Amino acid sequence: MSEVADSAVRKFQKELNAGTVALVLLSVLRRSKEPLYGYQIAKRLEETESSGMAIKQGTLYPVLRSLEAQGLLSSRVEPSVSGPPRKYYSITGDGIEVLGAWTEVWRKTRAFVETTLEGGR
Amino acid sequence: MSEVADSAVRKFQKELNAGTVALVLLSVLRRSKEPLYGYQIAKRLEETESSGMAIKQGTLYPVLRSLEAQGLLSSRVEPSVSGPPRKYYSITGDGIEVLGAWTEVWRKTRAFVETTLEGGR
């Protein structure tokens, strides 16, 4: 791929990730029976990676912090026997409401992009 | 919707638009037989709006400029009989290559998000 194309692809993936990673994190925490810390979330996402998408663990942390700052997640820190303390995240009531609304936005955007790509016009 | 949720939804839509609007614009210009100016592109997108997605015309212009700065579109300005000169955009060779790669990234991301939302995990 040319250098121009390569840089454009990285930019696009980064932009697409900005919203979708947050959506995916809320969704994983919505379905979890107990609070999860970063590494556990990364593990659950890895199991989905057969689809070819790789989300690096380093990508998760800023998004988790941003979701907490928005009031969509809450967290508590607990000591770990095997290393530094762990920060466990749970979804909040606002987070559950927002996940529903985001899912709706996602579905509409997806339909719009698909229609355009398939090229009715 | 609560104020928290409302603000989170606006943020999410904005983030999702960042990548998808660029993808949609490249796709429309790829399929067009002739160069198009902003208003014409907006019109073509409006026809797809039955899907419930509205892209405001004001959203298009910065994305068109960014795509041109990345070398994915080229433009020429032509006088108009009915108003100010119009800037006509065409897709470049790099743009065609990038559209293919973006479409692939889009499909993988979409599959990943869908799998997670449907909740295998």
Is A105 within 8 Å of B14 (Cβ atoms)?
Answer: no
Q: Which site among B49, B51, B68, B72 would you substitute to test the A interface, given the most A Cβ atoms closer than 10 Å to its Cβ?
A: B51
With a cut of 50, say whether residue B121 has pLDDT above it.
Answer: no
Q: How many Cβ atoms are within 10 Å of A7's Cβ, its own excluded? A: 14
More confident position, B95 or A5: B95
A18:B20 CB<8 A: no
What is the third-level CATH fold of A3-118?
Arc Repressor Mutant, subunit A (1.10.10)
Q: How distant, in Å, are the alpha carbons of A88, B1, B16, B60, B98 from that of B26?
A: 41, 34, 16, 11, 9
Q: How far apart are CA A37 and CA B105, in angstroms?
A: 28
Q: Report the residue of chain B nearest A104, measured CA to CA.
A: B9
A117:B52 CB<8 A: no
Q: What are the pLDDT digits (tens) for B50-85?
A: 555 567 778 899 999 999 999 999 999 999 888 899
To the nearest whole number, what is the mean pLDDT of chain B? 90
Decide if A105 touches B, using CB distance below 8 A: yes
Instruction: Write down the pTM of the prediction.
Output: 0.89
Structure tokens at B82: 């009915």
Q: What is the ipTM of this complex?
A: 0.88
Sorted by sequence, the CB contacts under 8 Å of residue A53 that are 6+ apart come out as B108, B109, B111, B112
Q: How far apart are CA A104 and CA A21, in angstroms?
A: 16
Decide if B44 touches A, using CB distance below 8 A: yes
Closest CB to B98: pick one of A8, A24, A53.
A8
Q: A53 to chain B nearest CA, in Å?
A: 6
> Domain map of chain A by residue range?
3-118
Regions of chain A with pLDDT less than 50: 121
Helices B57-69 & B38-46 angle (0-180, nearest 10):
120
With a cut of 90, say whether residue B36 has pLDDT above it.
Answer: yes
Helices B3-31 & B38-46 angle (0-180, nearest 10):
110
